[in-house]
């Protein structure tokens, strides 16, 4: 009986902490404020990239950056409450396909298996899908 009361009390305490965190705004998802801010963030992580073009997703959750010196594509993705930057080569991409104005990407990396990036239009999604697959 005591064990049951301890478990119930612990569960209530955890729920109270989760509620307090939500009430204080601790679960605000990250967003990318501007294309310039994302490019600056990416340059801090990858010093040798030469941006040849970039696009901010329509929902503010991703930026794609074309590298002028290689077939690689830089990405800044809002995940949870942080921004994650990656440099993706065509061989890292298992599949990249447009789905209307959305870009569906499946990676070979099990830690970041897939993502959906909302772009402005169908042509832009098709252009970035081709680049991610190595046809730039």
Cα separation, 73 vs 67, in Å, equals: 6
In this structure, the answer to whether residues 63 and 82 fall within a common structural domain is: yes
In this structure, the answer to whether residues 119 and 75 fall within a common structural domain is: yes
Q: Tell me, what's the pLDDT at 136?
A: 64
Query: How many Cβ atoms sit within 10 Å of the Cβ of residue 98?
Result: 19
In this structure, the answer to whether residues 120 and 79 fall within a common structural domain is: yes
Q: Tell me, what's the pLDDT at 33?
A: 86
In this structure, the answer to whether residues 64 and 109 fall within a common structural domain is: yes
Q: Tell me, what's the pLDDT at 62?
A: 94
In this structure, the answer to whether residues 24 and 39 fall within a common structural domain is: no
In this structure, the answer to whether residues 40 and 63 fall within a common structural domain is: yes
Cα separation, 125 vs 86, in Å, equals: 19
| Residue 102 φ then ψ, to 5° | -95, 150
In this structure, the answer to whether residues 52 and 107 fall within a common structural domain is: yes
Q: What is the pLDDT of residues 19-44, one digit of tens each?
A: 887 787 766 678 888 999 899 989 99
Cα separation, 32 vs 56, in Å, equals: 8
Cβ atoms of residues 125 and 102 within 8 Å: yes
Number of domains in the chain: 2
Place of tokens 């830089």: 74
Q: What is the CATH number of the domain that holds 118?
A: 2.30.29
Q: What is the pLDDT of residues 46-100, one digit of tens each?
A: 988 888 999 999 999 999 999 998 999 999 998 877 888 999 999 999 999 999 9
Task: List the domain range (segments joined by +) for residue 89.
Answer: 35-132
Whole-model pTM: value is 0.77
In this structure, the answer to whether residues 40 and 20 fall within a common structural domain is: no
Identify which has the larger pLDDT, 112 or 92. Answer: 92
């Amino acid at each position: 009986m005591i064990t049951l009361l301890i478990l119930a009390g612990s569960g209530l305490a955890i729920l109270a902490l989760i509620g307090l965190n939500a009430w204080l705004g601790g679960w605000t998802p990250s967003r990318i404020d501007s294309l310039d801010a994302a490019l600056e963030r990416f340059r801090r992580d990858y010093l040798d990239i030469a941006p040849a073009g970039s696009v901010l997703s329509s929902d503010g959750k991703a930026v794609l950056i074309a590298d002028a010196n290689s077939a690689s594509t830089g990405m800044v993705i809002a995940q949870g409450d942080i921004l994650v930057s990656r440099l993706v080569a065509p061989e890292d991409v298992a599949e990249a396909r447009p789905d209307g104005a959305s870009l569906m990407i499946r990676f070979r990396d099990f830690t970041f298996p897939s993502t959906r990036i909302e772009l402005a239009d169908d042509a832009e999604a098709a252009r970035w899908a081709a680049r991610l697959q190595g046809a730039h």
